[in-house]
């Protein structure tokens, strides 16, 4: 079991470039989510999905798109990168309701936008 | 507006002593609370949780206390060990929702 796998581990983008952060889990988890971690801000929810074909916005969704075509994958797209999107991004998944099955996190993608 | 607050960015404790990490929240709709632990270059890992219908939950060296009237929870680690050195995040779940709200984190350092 690999758990939650995030790729790449590190990425540097120029302002205006687009890219996709990949997230895959092999635990057959229905719930998947993306967080960003910034100094002094903790982790903030970007988007989440409660199952294939269903996505919803979190606290800070602007500038990011997601889709969930399979149970295993939940990619995060940056359409036009901005320096304010410099952050560490974490993908997390859960079997079902979070109170019954706490989130499992990947090891993060560190993104720098210049 | 930070709904979950960890007001101590860092805490230093001697090995063998008790570590107490604090967390305050403002939203009365939170009904489930969790603590996560994070080592550098890794993702957070689940530590312990508590439902709002309880005031205490214990798991080995870790105990979480919830004071609903004060909207305050705390994590006690006793005895503290060097491997406990990490960043600890408090998180809260809104009743009926699947959105976890995190605090800013507290960096715990256990000194030998």
Q: Is B30 on the interface with A (CB under 8 A)?
A: no
Burial class (CB in 10 A: 0-12, 13-18, 19+), B10: exposed
Can you give the pLDDT at residue A2?
Answer: 78
> Terminal CA-to-CA distance of chain A, rounded, Å?
36
* Backbone angle region of A53, left / alpha / beta, with phi > 0 → left and psi within -120 to 50 → alpha: left
A97 pLDDT band, cuts 50/70/90, is confident
Listed in sequence order, the residues at least 6 apart from A94 whose beta carbon sits closer than 8 Å to its beta carbon are A29, A30, A31, A32, A101, A102, A103, A104
**B4 in contact with chain A, both atoms CB, cutoff 8 A:** yes
Q: Any chain A CB within 8 A of the CB of B23? A: no
A41 and B104 in contact by Cβ < 8 A? yes
Q: Which residue of A has its CA nearest to B88?
A: A42
- Please write the tens of the pLDDT for every residue from B25-62: 999 999 999 999 999 999 999 999 999 999 999 999 99
From the list B88, B52, B95, the residue with the least C-alpha distance to B72 is B52
Distance CA A40, CA B58 (A): 28
pLDDT of A43-79, one tens digit each?
999 999 999 999 999 999 999 999 999 999 999 999 9
State the pLDDT at residue B21.
98
Check: CB of residue B108 under 8 Å from CB of residue B84: yes
SS3 A8: coil
Rounded CA-CA distance B32/B64 in Å is: 12
pLDDT band at B97 (very low <50, low <70, confident <90, very high): confident
Residue B98 to residue A97, Cβ atoms within 8 A: yes
8 Å CB contact of B103 and A99: no
pLDDT at A1: 64
Query: Which among B46, B51, B105 has CB closest to A42?
Result: B105
Edge-first strand listing for the sheet containing B56-59: B4-5, B19-25, B72-77, B62-67, B56-59
Buried-exposed string A97-108: b where 16+ CB fall within 10 A, e elsewhere:
ebbebbbbbbbb
Which residues does B81 contact at the CB level (< 8 Å), separation at least 6?
Answer: B15, B61, B110
Q: Determine, for residues A105 and B41 on separate chains, whether the beta-carbon distance falls below 8 Å.
A: no
Instruction: Kindly tell me the burial class for residue B19, based on how many C-beta atoms sit within 10 Å of its own C-beta (0-12, 13-18, 19 or more).
Output: buried
CA A13 to chain centre: 17
């Amino acid at each position: 079991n690999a758990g939650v796998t995030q790729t790449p581990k590190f990425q540097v983008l120029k302002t205006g470039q687009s890219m996709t952060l990949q997230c895959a889990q092999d635990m057959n988890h229905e719930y998947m989510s993306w967080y960003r971690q910034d100094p002094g801000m903790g982790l903030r929810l970007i988007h989440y999905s409660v199952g294939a074909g269903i996505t919803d916005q979190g606290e800070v969704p602007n500038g990011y798109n997601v889709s969930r075509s399979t149970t295993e994958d939940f990619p995060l797209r940056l359409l036009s990168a901005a320096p304010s999107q410099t952050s560490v991004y974490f993908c997390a998944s859960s079997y079902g309701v979070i109170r019954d099955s706490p989130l499992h996190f990947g090891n993060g993608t560190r993104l720098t936008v210049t | 507006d930070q709904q979950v607050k960890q007001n101590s960015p860092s805490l230093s404790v001697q090995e063998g002593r008790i570590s107490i990490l604090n967390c305050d929240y403002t939203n009365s709709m939170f009904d489930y609370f969790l603590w996560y632990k994070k080592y550098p270059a890794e993702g957070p890992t689940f530590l312990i949780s508590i439902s709002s219908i309880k005031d205490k939950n214990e798991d080995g060296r870790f105990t979480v206390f919830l004071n609903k009237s004060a909207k305050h929870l705390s994590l006690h680690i006793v005895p503290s060990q060097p491997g406990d050195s990490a960043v600890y995040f408090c998180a809260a779940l809104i009743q009926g929702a699947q959105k976890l709200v995190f605090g800013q984190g507290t960096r715990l350092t256990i000194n030998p």
